[in-house]
Structure 1
Amino acid sequence: MKLSLNWITLRVHDLEASLDFYHRILGLPVERRFESRGRQIVMLGTGGGQPKIELIQGDETVLKPECGVSVGFEVASLDEAIDHLTSQGIPLARGPIMPNPYLRFLYVLDPDGFEVQLAEHI
């Protein structure tokens, strides 16, 4: 069996705040926006077989932010990412961390408190 990651679902309290974070601040393109069973859903990400982020508006939180799950993205320059995030008023939650000579990363929190990791492979 061959598998490929299709999407990661985040149930969010404020869809517009999450959409602002993932689309405007992080730059993920909106692939589509729709309603299903009374819930607003937004799929974000690029095509070409890359995994998507699915945001679902809801009152319940299935996954607690402190559970240890994070969403990770690769960036070309961590320094440029830091400049961009701070200019948008997004504080760094942790980092930058350099666990070895080939990797640097940091964490920020999305509007629901989920950790988002930005990593630069050197």
Structure 2
Amino acid sequence: MLKHVSFLTGDLPAAVAFYERLGAVIEKRAVTPEGYDRAVLRLGEGRLQLFEVTGETPRPHPHWAEHVALYVSGLRALLPELRAAGVRVTRDLQPSPGGRDMAFVLDPDGRQVELLERDGGEASR
């Protein structure tokens, strides 16, 4: 099940306005600890995170910058199966900020995919 998709943008207000026209609702606006302006938009059941990156700000770490986040069941068992199938794990199993098991892998095209344990408390993002 989709949790969220994260994109970088050079113009956060314009990006937010665009997605609002498509039916998105702002859930949260904040500045990350790293100093990036961030908006979280609700789109149906899933979320879209937008991080503003301008010429003055350094590129954020690829693990959280642009990725798809999915809820999965049984992540502790799934991760070794993915490794055995040749999937590259870029961030090993660890607790998410909300306490869920979390890991990052690459899809066949090299895109970051965040895997979050479906069972457990809701992560605060």
TM range (shorter): 0.3 to 0.5
What's the TM-score, normalizing by structure 1? 0.41
What's the TM-score, normalizing by structure 2? 0.40
